[in-house]
Amino acid sequence: MPELVLPHLERQPITLLREPVEVRGPGEPAGPAELSGRLFLGGPLAVPLGPGDLDDDGRMFLAAEAGAFDYRLTHLALTVTGDDDAPFASVTLGVALTCDDGEAVAWSMAPDRVTDTAQLTDRFRFGPQLSLLGVEASLGSVERTRVRQGSEPLVEALRPLRADPAWIIRRGRHTPVAGAYRFVMVVRSPAGAAVRTGITVTARVRRRRLFGYRTGEPVTVDLG
């Protein structure tokens, strides 16, 4: 199956507000009330999937689902600016899916689980039954230094097959939470139903202790 063509996504700055309950370390000064200029959200942008987008296996699956479910390939991006004085311990990109009839769910998500910097990719393809797979770069084309992190994932998809999926990006032993991240998701919804998304971003920032931040209001977008 050919690789997916990822569309350009306009980024918008996201301002996070400090959570009222500190994560830990009582008795120390609170962190800044706002966190701005360090997170930029791209998308979501949804494209309905049709037979022309898929190989033979994908077309057969889509034909079997026709009249019961619609599938949309949904693109998201997050650009994170690092800061040695206040590094991110983690950043979570959450998606709330709603529709006017029945339930919309994240049928498949990519990246799924990344434990090695060489697996960090913006290249994806379809697998069986519209599953999403990352495409690792060949050895000769890998420009970043490969760092193994063990079993603790750097990026992990959370709550697939539900209406509240998310991705979490974690700081590794040698890998900061910084740079540009691409995410793709196939959204399944009842045929003909309009789907809406609410995007939230939460973060844990270390300033001698951990502080929690989150978006004040979800970024809502109609997927069609």
pLDDT in tens, 198-212: 999 999 988 767 788
Q: Kindly give the residue spans of alpha helices, DSSP state H, lying in 19-128.
A: 56-65
The answer to whether residue 121 sits within a structural domain is yes
Say how many C-beta atoms besides its own lie within 10 A of residue 46's C-beta.
20
Spatial neighbors of 4 by CB under 8 A, at least 6 apart, are 73, 123, 124, 125, 126, 184
Counting the structural domains of the chain, the total is: 1
Cα distances (angstroms) measured from residue 100 to each of 159, 212, 224: 21, 33, 11
pTM for the model stands at 0.86
Q: How far apart are CA 115 and CA 223, in angstroms?
A: 31
* Both tokens assigned to 110: 């990519």
Band of pLDDT at residue 149, cut at 50, 70 and 90: very low
- Please give the helix or strand (H or E) that residue 183 lies within, else none: strand 179-190
The yes-or-no verdict on residue 136 having pLDDT over 80 is no
The answer to whether residue 5 sits within a structural domain is no
The answer to whether residue 2 sits within a structural domain is no
pLDDT of residue 151: 61
The answer to whether residue 6 sits within a structural domain is no
The answer to whether residue 184 sits within a structural domain is yes
- Which residues are registered as beta bridge partners of 1? none
The answer to whether residue 125 sits within a structural domain is yes
Say how many C-beta atoms besides its own lie within 10 A of residue 192's C-beta.
12
Q: How far apart are CA 36 and CA 17, in angstroms?
A: 9
Q: How far apart are CA 24 and CA 18, in angstroms?
A: 14
DSSP, res 10: -
Q: Which domain holds residue 214?
A: 11-222
Q: Identify which of 42, 65, 49 has the alpha carbon closest to the alpha carbon of residue 1.
A: 49
pLDDT of residue 128: 87
Cβ atoms of 127 and 133 within 8 Å: the answer is yes
Angle among Cα 196, 197, 200 to the nearest 5 degrees reads 160
